[in-house]
Amino acid sequence: MRRGVGGFALILVIWALVLLTSLATGFALAIRHEIRVAGDLASIAQAEATASAALHATAFMLSLAEQTDRWKADKQWRKLPWPDADIGVRVQSESGKIDINLAPRELLNGLFTQFMSPARSEALTDALLDWRDGDDDPEPSGAEQEAYSRAGYTYGPANASFNSVNELGRVLGFDYPTVELLKPYLTVHSKRPRINVLGADAVVLMATPGIDWEIATMLLAQRDRVLAEGGRMDFAELRNGRRYLESRPNDRLLSVDIDVLLPNGFRRREHAVIRLHRTRGYNLLARETLPAASAPEDRRP
């Protein structure tokens, strides 16, 4: 009888030890998880603060009085010296992009046809125009309320201006890959129907009727000379394309890409749009966090 009681007691002790071990393991895992979460939050806060400081520093470098020291909106990645972080900064003109609120059909369609078939380009152009106009009359290949309802959407076109380029994702026909493909060439901040040639790239220039790769390359070479030596752009050979372009020096509407890499490997990427004051300082027009899975191709060591 005593042997049976002793065996039962031994089993209880073993089960108690198993239970205590399980509880201790679970507690240790919970503590480890909390430590990891706290570390992640600390990294997020540090990277966000570093990106904010980098944006202020970039605005300062863009406003320097000495032209030789002043940063240019040339789309080149620059390394910003910083303790405890590797920071890359890239600046480009925002007015050299196509404003989706004011650009004419020809510019929008000219951009889209560089990336897709003419039929789809026409449909997306018309859908965009129907979204931003104030009426309910569809463009030839466009989409007003009835088209959205047929497609299963619970909403229709805003019939108002876009608040951001990301809003294109709500327009019928614009899926996420298409929006991401077009975003580098579009803006809502220039508030002008024309493209500022002094800040445009070849893709945007080729959206203009009558401008092919050869003419775009010529314009970019002329632009580089104007920026380096002064003078004015000559659009004489463009004929009809002239009405879609303008040349405005001392552009203060800029977009800034910031890539922050912390020593622990945590990465944060941001995109901001700023308008520089004529004296020091700037207005922040937009700021968003970008996917940080990897560094941009031209930023990788």
HEC string of the chain equals CHHHHHHHHHHHHHHHHHHHHHHHHHHHHHHHHHHHHHHHHHHHHHHHHHHHHHHHHHHHHHCCCCCCCCCCCECCCEEECCCCCEEEEEEEECCCCEECCCCCHHHHHHHHCCCCCHHHHHHHHHHHHHHHCCCCCCCCCCCCHHHHHHCCCCCCCCCCCCCCHHHHHHCCCCCHHHHHHHHHHEECCCCCCCEEHHHCCHHHHCCCCCCCHHHHHHHHHHHHHHHHHCCCCCCHHHHHHHHHEECCCCCCEEEEEEEEECCCCCEEEEEEEEEECCCCCEEEEEEEEECCCCCCHHHCC
State percent of the chain over pLDDT 90.
59
Average pLDDT over residues 264-286: 91
- Arithmetic mean of pLDDT, 195-200: 90
Q: What is the mean predicted confidence (pLDDT) over 269-284?
A: 91
pTM, 2 dp: 0.81
Given a contact cutoff of 8 angstroms between Cβ atoms, the answer to whether 281 and 258 are in contact is no
Residue 254, classified by CB atoms within 10 Å of its CB into exposed (0-12), middle (13-18) or buried (19+), is buried
Separation CA 96–CA 190 (nearest Å): 8
Mean pLDDT, residues 254-273 taken together:
94
Question: What is the widest separation between alpha-carbon atoms in the chain?
Answer: 112
Does the structure show a pLDDT above 70 at 277?
A: yes
CA-to-CA dists, residue 244 to 63, 109, 219, angstroms: 29, 13, 14
Q: What is the distance between the alpha carbons of residues 118 and 120, in angstroms, rounded to a whole number?
A: 6
- The token duo for 113 is 């046809």
Which domains can be identified in the chain, with CATH numbers?
39-95+251-299 (3.30.1300.30), 104-185 (1.10.40.60)
Mean pLDDT of 50-66: 91
- With beta carbons less than 8 A apart as the criterion, state whether 205 and 113 touch: no
pLDDT value of residue 26: 60
pLDDT class of 280 with cuts at 50, 70, 90: confident
Work out the number of other CB atoms within 10 angstroms of the CB of residue 281. 12
Please, what is the average pLDDT of the chain? 86
Confidence of residue 244 (pLDDT cuts 50, 70, 90): very high
